[in-house]
Amino acid sequence: MSCVQCAKRFTKLSPELSCAVCRLSFCKKCLSCRVTLPDEGGKSAKVCYTCFDRVVNHKPFQDASEWEPPANFLKRMEALEQRSAASIDGRPQSNIRSTEVDILARRADALLGAGKGPLPSDDELQARLDALKDFSSRRLSDQNPLPKLPETEEDQINNLVSQFIDEARIAKTYNSSVAPEKPEMEIVFCCLCERDASIICHDCEDDEFCENCFKKSHKSKLLKKHRTSSVQRPKDTSVKPP
């Protein structure tokens, strides 16, 4: 709905208000006059401009049948009537172009005509059915291959013998003999001077000493009684070239 005076649509920001005299719908802007009505017990109420003029100037009120709507309302109604008349005259109301409509019509006719034709015979239907069965069986065989049969004891023995023969042939061909690794020389350092150690003192928590540091650190009688052993280094077993 819209305002009777200015033809403005009612919204949440511009709600519909009613005149206290004529009871017509107006917006807030058009219903800004306030008068005291004796019929309402002397209370002030909001009225439209027309009713405000009649109440203040003591003019008689017209009958509802003699009341005429405002000019803005009449203009809006005329515009709506012109739009409806234009659509009735034959103007397309939708935005679809005539060419697009023709294309859709031709496609619909083609689809309807595609189903027309002679029906296939029984032999043709049977041939199609056989082709579908053959295709489905091949597809199932590809998806689910047959499991391999378990090998017998004789087959296992033959496989092992052939494997041993192949390994011996490869070893003979490429002479895959692994040379023995040389033992790494273990280097032991003195715990005091970090020189090469030669003595291990077992009563000193197996600490390694060189001869000079051992003599200096074990001068007392008690320390001289410590149990010792010499550092054992692995011998170099590699064959020296002639």
Nearest one of 200, 195, 204 to 231, comparing CA atoms: 200
Model pLDDT, residue 110 = 77
Which range in 32-46, 68-82, 145-159 is most confidently predicted, on average pLDDT? 32-46
Mind listing the pLDDT tens digit for each residue in 117-162? 667 788 888 888 888 888 777 766 666 555 666 678 888 888 888 8
The whole model's pTM is what?
0.29
User: Could you give the CA distance from residue 103 to residue 222 in angstroms, rounded to a whole number?
Assistant: 117
Residues 163-194: pLDDT tens digits? Answer: 888 888 887 776 545 555 555 556 788 888 88
For residue 41, the SS3 value is: coil
- Is a pLDDT exceeding 70 seen at residue 90? no
Neighbours of 57 (CB within 10 A): 7
Residue 47 per-residue DSSP state: E
Distance of CA 22 to the CA centre of its chain: 62
